[in-house]
Amino acid sequence: MSILSGKNILLGICGGIAAYKSIFLLRLLIKKGANVQVLMTPSSKDFVTPLTLSTLSKRPVLSDFFDKKNKNEIWNNHVDLGLWADFFIIAPATSNTISKMSSARADNLLLATYLSAKCPVYFAPAMDLDMHKNLANQENINKLIKHGCIHIPAKSGSLASGLEGEGRMSEPQDIVDLICNDIIKDLKYYKKKFLITAGPTYEPIDAVRFIGNFSSGKMGFSLAKCVLKFGGNVTLITGPTSLDLSHENLKIISVVTADQMLNETLKHFENSDITIMSAAVSDYKPKTKLSYKIKKQNDEPLSLDLVQNSDILKLLGNKKKKNQILIGFALETDNEIQNANNKIKSKNLDAIVLNSLNDKGAGFGYDTNKVTYINNKGIVKNFKLKSKDEVSIDILDQLITDFHEKI
């Protein structure tokens, strides 16, 4: 699947002979699964027809502020268009449009949309050699770069005028490659394989009862969501929760007991680059699971024989290969830092995320968390109380800082 799949792209076409290349650019974007809305300046229609572009994009091409053919005169809202877009590509960008963009003129829909757009804007100048070289035009291009637009420089070669030199619009395939590479650069964890555990485990006592804990799974799900946003692939092994998440790069495996979590985790560990164990695994389970419901004994206390579950994280720590990163969580009530440091050593971790039950708004069930991150070199980072999504970003950013050579 392409990185452009599902992206909303505005393709702005200005009036120049290179507009014929926009048809190829549009085809490439559509083939990559992007949703493309074409915006044309009035004069570009002299070079390519709206019919060709609307047929290829499967959407009406927009050019005017009002749809004059429609009796109700529908307003093409430039603000909505600007907000809809993930990217705006103006190709070809003529001297006229570049000049208007650089001075905030808005006398057509393409320009008004440009001024409203919040997304990255790419512009690919195309004009004749001397027009391109013209100082005022060069100044305008530089102004746009200063304003934050991304310049796709014109190439040298033979021009429509018959002259040779710089002014040809960059080739459609090169434009698509450049944008794809920019997206990948921003995806900090592009194609990295994550294994994340989340939620509690339930250890059956009898046919209707279990030993569990109050973990909601929110932290693990939030981590998975952030990794997916950063371009990674996630296998999420979760104990019982009410949460749900779906994404093409996500595989969710639901388990109930610590033993099931152990089995699934071991199956997927070898193939993972980064493993984050945020699950609250039950340390103990009843020695035997009764197949019937235990009846109440009159006034008699009931005692259960418990045996220890395997420490999944410790097992993974023993199996860890050099290039794998292994992160644990620790929930502590006292001697927090020392206990967390001990867990880093005893479980062979690269880092641990410490929750203290002494912090308000942190821990099980909350949408917020307050964590301390400690790595295996003893670096301690205290983060403020934040939403679990913000905490996830802090953790993932910190991993890049600490382990960039492995990531």
Catalytic residues: 213
The two most distant CA atoms of the chain are separated, in Å, by 103
Angle at 215 between CA 209 and CA 219, to 5 degrees: 150
The span from the CA of 287 to the CA of 271, in Å, is: 32
CB 143 within 8 A of CB 125: no
Closest alpha carbon to 140 in 96, 175, 172: 96
| DSSP H or E segment with residue 220 | helix 218-229
Which residues partner with 285 through β-bridges? Answer: 307
CB 340 within 8 A of CB 332: yes
Binding residues vs ligand CTP (CB under 6 A): 258, 277, 279, 281, 283, 309, 311-313, 328-331, 343
DSSP string, 221-277: HHHHHHHHHTT-EEEEEE-S-S-----TTEEEEE--SHHHHHHHHHHHHTT-SEEEE
Residue 200 DSSP code: B
Structure tokens at 377: 């070199």
| DSSP H or E segment with residue 136 | helix 135-146
* Tokens 């997206």 belong to residue: 183
The residues, ordered by sequence, that sit 6+ positions from 9 with a Cβ below 8 Å of its Cβ are: 29, 34, 35, 36, 37, 85, 86, 87, 88, 89
Closest alpha carbon to 255 in 292, 203, 293, 303: 203
Question: Would you say 287 or 296 has its CB closer to ligand CTP?
Answer: 287
Question: Would you say 122 or 202 has its CB closer to ligand CTP?
Answer: 202
Smallest gap from Cβ 116 to ligand CTP, in A, equals 46
The span from the CA of 179 to the CA of 162, in Å, is: 30
Which residues partner with 274 through β-bridges? Answer: 194, 325
Smallest gap from Cβ 255 to ligand CTP, in A, equals 13
User: Which amino acid is present at 161?
Assistant: S
The residues, ordered by sequence, that sit 6+ positions from 313 with a Cβ below 8 Å of its Cβ are: 277, 281, 326, 328, 347, 349
Smallest gap from Cβ 214 to ligand CTP, in A, equals 13
CB 152 within 8 A of CB 178: yes
| CB atoms inside a 10 Å sphere around CB 289 | 14
